Amino acid sequence: MFNHYQTSTGCGCPPAFVPQPYQWVQLRDPISTYSFDQAYLLCEVTSGEWIAWVPNYGEARLRREQLLQATD
């Protein structure tokens, strides 16, 4: 069976998600009841901590663990 994630290591794992500035990302959980479950990354302030804008919430400081994947 063809695996579109096949890599040179042969693991078949999806590529690792690496957050980048100016990128929309899916959050693991919404920050509040009324906020969106996506965020726009603005800048990394420390290793693994990001300043982001979340619709219906505003500016937020997010940890890497809160980010699920990039959105298209």
CATH number at residue 44: 2.30.30
8 inside domain:
no
How much is the pLDDT for 10? 56
Number of domains in the chain: 1
pTM of the complete model: 0.77
17 inside domain:
no
Report H helices in the chain. Answer: none
How much is the pLDDT for 7? 46
Residue 42: which domain range?
Answer: 24-70
How much is the pLDDT for 4? 46
12 inside domain:
no
Is-contact 1 18, C-beta < 8 A? no
Tens place of pLDDT for every residue, the chain, 72 residues?
444 444 445 555 567 889 999 999 999 999 999 999 999 999 999 999 999 999 999 999 999 999 999 997
φ/ψ of 44, rounded to 5, equals -90, 120
Is-contact 43 20, C-beta < 8 A? no
How much is the pLDDT for 3? 45
How much is the pLDDT for 2? 42
Q: Is 64 helix (H, G, I), strand (E, B) or coil?
A: helix
